[in-house]
Copies of this chain bind each other. A is one copy, B any other.
Amino acid sequence: MGISLKSIADDLSLSKATVSWILSGKGEEKGFSAATIKQVTDYARKVGYTPNLIARSLSMGYTKTIGLIIPSISDTFYSQMAQSVEASVSSYGYVLILGSSEGDETKEQQLIRSLRSQQVAGLIIAPTNKSDKAISMMLHDNFPFVLIDRYIPELRSNYVIVDNENSSYSLVRHLYSSGCRRVAVITTDMHLYVMGKRISGYRKAVLDSGLPLEDRLCVEIDRNTYIEDVKDKMNRLLDEVPDVDGFFFTTHYLAEEVMRYFIMHGTDYRHKFRFACIHSTRALDILSPEMARAMMPITDMGRKSVDILIENISSRDDFDQKELILDNTLLMEGI
């Protein structure tokens, strides 16, 4: 049917081996005559030969594909990450398999298994859960993978994350030093490791500013119903704490929703409050150019994690797990 090594070999009355050597560029090295090299390459081009990578992989015992598992592809944060990972991966001559865990632990486990079954050379994962059977399994099998964005403190694995606590601290400190007295923190998923770090950064900043921690200033939004929940909780907050003068958002979409809230209410939010947010989006940039923001080095995170993964794949047995903590770039007025 399709053009195979064998069909080319037959057509040219050569052996499969000869054709294989030549087409994989080792013709010279193996000492084939210039004539046959030319003959084979020309013929292969002419008939439009493309190697069957599945067969090659089986024979070689490895593939040139790597897998990426993220909670959501459409979230700007992860789509930027996927963009960067895809670019790096393909620059290494690999191909990217993408899976979405939907923030669901079970789906994540299944994906890991499925992709390993596909024989991906390695995996990059933005994990959704605290600790994971499939992840321990990879560790046990010495299978190359790197955790990105979120990580699991108990496990000694490759990871690339950002310094959430310090960034949060700096942002909130900045709010206070620009005049705020009562900064609310708007967050979700407080149980997640990253979120925890962001909140403790906030807390330290409040205390270091000589002010008390107030429960009413800590607003947790339910991620699954956040659009509605933001409205309710904002109503309550502004009611209970009318003199709130600053907001620290632990993640972008909460900030966006609060902006929407203000716009819907005709509030002159740009003059009335000061804002800080972890991560930024185009919408925030337009809606509130003066918002202090931690610009996550997403592209860098993607690139670095691929670098680490590729290195791990190449070394495999004697590879020291790499732990990388990148800094956010802080975007703050007057700094």
Instruction: Identify the A interface with B (CB < 8 A).
Output: 48, 50-55, 57-58, 63, 65, 72-74, 76, 79-80, 82-83, 86-87, 90, 95-100, 113-119, 137, 256, 259-260, 263-264, 281-283, 285-287, 289
Contacts and interface: CB of A to CB of B under 8 A. Distances in A.
Contacts of A76: 74, 76, 79
Number of copies: 2
B98 A98 contact: yes
Contacts of A52: 58, 117, 119
Helix, strand, loop or mixed for chain A's interface? helix
A57 to B, nearest CB: 5
A125 to B, nearest CB: 15
Contacts of A95: 97, 99, 114-115, 118
A288 to B, nearest CB: 9
A265 to B, nearest CB: 12
A216 to B, nearest CB: 26
Nearest to A78: B79
Contacts of A51: 117
A25 to B, nearest CB: 16
Most central of A50, A79, A119 by chain B CB within 10 Å:
A79
A53 B282 CA distance: 41
A118 B93 CA distance: 13
A163 B137 CA distance: 49
A257 to B, nearest CB: 9
A1 to B, nearest CB: 9
Nearest first, the 4 closest Cβ-Cβ pairs linking A and B are A283-B283, A79-B79, A74-B83, A73-B83
B50 A58 contact: no
